[in-house]
Structure 1
């Protein structure tokens, strides 16, 4: 799962006339402790009106959110329901999610659909069916034209599978055009910041329960139909690959030359 770029968030809120970027305190909830380290990198600090602004001000893990709820003795079953806040939401009017069929929020399926349509003028209906290879954390899908494979994508989760992929890349024998990589086995639903198994429950049993609950009653809408994304491109970004799109949607990573651990003291 990814941090929402506050460069984009701040610009959108400014366009909507809501707030100035440095007046927004951006909190994100993640299943991974590594997102705390990611948020304090220099790559995610920008300047607005000569003021330094961090893209994400605080990162809370899902486990920490649960602890906060429990510490306040909040019972959600007794709370009055309210309508969904639809500012920058990823849910359509019928309550379907846009393009997030997997439990890690990755883009493999979306990119596969887009590549087939853009490169080979082919629309692929419905969710993709990835073929399981050596284990459930390593799956692949192939798109063929006239019997010849032209696109080959893979989902690679867990360090054991990652080591095999890295070895193939170094040997020049990796045959995939795109690989969705997650460090945690079973992906982000099994992230280090997630809730832990209760006494008598194995980690495998918990992740199976989480996967079942996550997929329950969830329908996925075509991400290309997302009206918010369409509006951003029509009114501001122009088209994929434009200068604005590269500036606000792309991220550059640089080696960390200093420890960021000391920066986490307020997190």
Structure 2
């Protein structure tokens, strides 16, 4: 419809309060149109509160089809790799195939000190080709940062999340009565994994987006629209600053 970013009010629902801070970063402000990439972030817990204030229960609302930008998007699909975006698995499989010609279908995680610090290794003829890790929670992140400072980290890529157990256990996630936090997390993980997973490169809607809107996956327009860079935010002078 030839709308500009300034004509769209973009709302995202997240299980994380920090996404509010992320959306407010200068990195996500469009100078050309003088608007933010994301205008409003609300957590799943806040959505529940809004519904309760309006006296609405989702179980009483008739389901409606999802809006789509492509005729190919008739089915809701997800990704492999867990509830924190699946970046480690996607990049690991892609790197194994592109760099070493190795097709990886299933990834075996090796837990280290705890379940929130795991690693994945690609070996061939006894030689380590790739070594990836995921580090969830500040305790594991702190250990990782200390290894990096000492030059002792062996990893080519690390998926880092502040929340223990990852994004599905975010601080903004709605809390249900009658279930322990562990049971609730397991329930949410099952729901998250229930849609059919799909590799992005094989998704017809994604391919149409690149070809019809962005001029190809390697185009300058695609890089401008989809890539970003994080820049250091000046630290506030408070007693809460943590030195790792």
Listed one character per residue, the Cα deviations across residues 62-114 of structure 1 (whole Å, up to 9, x for unaligned) are 1101111111122223322322222379x9545432x2441111411111111
Structure 1 residue 168, shift from structure 2 partner = 0.8
SS at match of 1:28: strand
Q: Tell me, which stretches of 5 or more residues in structure 1 are unaligned? A: 1-16, 260-267
Contact 1:62 1:193 in 2 (8 A): yes
Identify the residue that residue 104 of structure 2 maps to in structure 1: 124
- Which residue number in structure 1 is paired with residue 14 of structure 2? 30
How far off its partner does 1:201 sit? 4.7
In 2, Cα distance between the equivalents of 1:246 and 1:209? 37
1:143 equivalenced with 2:122 (yes/no): yes
Counterpart of 1:96 in structure 2 is 77
Q: Helix, strand or coil for the counterpart of 1:234?
A: helix
Runs of 4+ in structure 1 off by over 6 angstroms are: none
Aligned to 1:73: 55
SS in 2 for 1:156: strand
Structure 2 segments unaligned to the other structure (5+ residues): 237-244
Q: What RMSD, in angstroms, separates the aligned Cα atoms of the two structures?
A: 2.4
Secondary structure of the residue aligned to 2:113 is strand
- How has the CA–CA distance of structure 1 residues 55 and 88 changed in structure 2, closer, same or farther, with 3 Å as cutoff? farther
Report how far residue 130 of structure 1 moved.
1.5
Equivalent residue number for residue 93 of structure 2: 113
Number of equivalenced pairs: 235
Q: For residue 38 of structure 1, report the CA deviation from its aligned partner.
A: 1.3
| Greater CA drift, 221-230 or 180-189 | 221-230
Inter-CA distance 128–94: structure 2 relative to 1 (3 Å threshold): farther
Q: Does 1:177 align with 2:159?
A: no
Shift of 1:163: 1.1
Instruction: Give the deviation of 1:258 after TM superposition.
Output: 8.1
